[in-house]
Structure 1
Amino acid sequence: MREFSESYLERTREGMWADSRAALEPLALDARDRILDVGCGTGELSRVLAAESPGEVIGCDADPDLLSAAAEHVPVVAGDALRLPFSDDAVDLVVCQALLINLPDPAAAVAEFARVSTDLVAAVEPDNAAVEIDSSVDAEGDLERRARRAYLDGVNTDVALGADARTAFETAGLEVLATRRYDHVRTVEPPYSEGELTAARRKATGDGLADDRETMLAGDLSEGEYDALRGSWREMGRDVIEQMRDREYRREEVVPFHVTVGRISES
């Protein structure tokens, strides 16, 4: 399973659910007694669940560093998504966000979630193949699409799972009650945050692509094609920085998430 830093999770999930939580309505959060957030990371979703539910929310993650951040908001427990440290029927809702896309066998995780839940299991999973970019730097959108395609070809899990998470639910024996789409919109515009400035510098150095080099080369991309892409990426990054200096850079990224909710079989 891929690992993520605290800064990465905070940057990519910042502001999620701030404007609309309608996609979470099928979770019936106001009627929950005990909720388990698996793969909680730094606790962004845990905080939303705690705000919307009168019951107890528990965060669970295998990374102790991420758990220490989540522990500032909810009780936490260290644990593996495939071997949860909970007894059968311990909670009435298990939920995860952007977790199944990083697992080789999503259905096995869903089955484990169902073991510890008396009622519902929910997954909030992105379709990373359908991300849309609108940028004031003309080359950025096309380069992002090319890099994303190369990454998707090389990664060994289904990071474009999205609404197809229902297949994992059905394989695990759950009745799928609902699948709702929620678009997470991330906007960069003046005044720029320190995180946004850091991201721009990483584009200009090519460090962002370098982090994914091994995965991208595991697909159909050749080393020569990767080097050419990274060169264009660095040039694009310099254009981003130049526009930032003039306070002209703007970027909007739309990441579609799909909330799949399943009910435990009574049989």
Structure 2
Amino acid sequence: MREFSESYLSRTREGMWADSRAALEPLALDSRDRILDVGCGTGELSRVLREETADDTTVVGCDADLELLEVARGDDPVPVVAGDALRLPFPDNSFDLVICQALLINLPDPAAALEEFARVSTDLVAAVEPDNAAVEIDSSVDAEDDLERRARQAYLDGVDTDVALGADARRAIEAAGLEVLATRRYDHVRTVEPPYSDGALTAARRKATGDGLADDRQTILSGAVTESEYDDLRSSWREMGRTVIEQMGTQEYRRAETVPFFVTVGRIA
């Protein structure tokens, strides 16, 4: 199981569900009594679920990372419990909806986690998972789309979990013995444009230094990429990053990243 920092979760989940929550309709949130958000991290999805449910609905977050749970307990707190997705600290039939967001793609055996979700649910189990192989980039820097695609594919080849699972999460849900009720697609679009946020400026600097790619070096080299190919990619990456910073200096830089998520809902058979 990969671990993620608060800053990574904030950057990748910022604005998630801000424009539409229609893909959550199959969850029938207005009729739920108790909901468990597994792998809740800093609580972003838990807060969305709380907003979409009745006042007397209980929404509980669960995560194995104690530092992330401390953030979830912060300024806009949600009830959270420390626990492993494969050994949830709840008795059978404790909730009527158990859900996760961007969790299964980081697990070696998603069906095993879904079986555990089903153990503590009386009705629905849902997975909100991305298809990271289908991410699209539209950038004012011509080289950025191609380099991001190359780096993403090299990373995908090196990871040992299915980070493109979202588009086919129904297979894992069916393997867990659940009946698939619905699948809805939601495109999470992250934009960078003037005035640039501190996070966008930091990301640009990390491109120019190659630090962002360096963080993934071990994973990339676990795939088919050679040391020489990685060095060439990082050199081009840094050059691209310098162009991004130049365009930011003249307020010309624009970037839109579209990450397709799939909400797949299963029912206890």
**Aligned partners of 1:26 and 1:86: how far apart in 2?**
24
Match of 2:29 in 1: 29
- Tell me the alpha carbon deviations over residues 173-193 of structure 1, each in whole angstroms, 9 at most, x when there is no partner: 000000110000000000000
Q: Secondary structure at the match of 2:186?
A: strand
Match of 2:10 in 1: 10
Q: Secondary structure at the match of 1:158?
A: coil
Residues 134-145 of structure 1 correspond to what in structure 2 (within 5 A)?
Answer: 134-145=138-149
Structure 2: any 5+ residue segments left out of the alignment? none
Find the partner of 2:58 among 51, 56, 81.
Answer: 56
Match of 1:262 in 2: 266
Match of 2:150 in 1: 146
Match of 1:207 in 2: 211
Residues 31-180 of structure 1 correspond to what in structure 2 (within 5 A)?
Answer: 31-54=31-54, 55-72=57-74, 73-180=77-184
Match of 2:188 in 1: 184
| AA of the residue aligned to 1:39 | G
Q: Equivalent pairs: percent with the same residue?
A: 82
Normalising by structure 1, what TM-score?
0.99
Match of 2:20 in 1: 20
**Aligned partners of 2:60 and 2:70: how far apart in 1?**
13
**Aligned partners of 2:246 and 2:231: how far apart in 1?**
23
| AA of the residue aligned to 1:176 | V
Normalising by structure 2, what TM-score?
0.98
CA apart distance, 1:35: 0.4
Q: Please, what is the CA RMSD of the aligned residues? A: 0.5
| AA of the residue aligned to 1:95 | I
**Aligned partners of 1:70 and 1:160: how far apart in 2?**
27
- Tell me the alpha carbon deviations over residues 79-104 of structure 1, each in whole angstroms, 9 at most, x when there is no partner: 00000000000011000000000000
**Aligned partners of 2:191 and 2:258: how far apart in 1?**
9
**Aligned partners of 2:104 and 2:120: how far apart in 1?**
17
CA apart distance, 1:71: 1.9
| AA of the residue aligned to 1:136 | S
CA apart distance, 1:194: 0.3
CA apart distance, 1:199: 0.4
| AA of the residue aligned to 2:169 | A
The alignment covers a number of residue pairs equal to 265
CA apart distance, 1:163: 2.2
CA contact (8 A) 1:163 1:259 kept: no
| AA of the residue aligned to 1:130 | A
Match of 1:242 in 2: 246
CA apart distance, 1:24: 0.2
**Aligned partners of 2:265 and 2:230: how far apart in 1?**
39
Runs of 4 or more consecutive aligned structure 1 residues displaced over 4 Å after TM superposition: none
Q: Secondary structure at the match of 2:251?
A: coil
| AA of the residue aligned to 1:245 | G
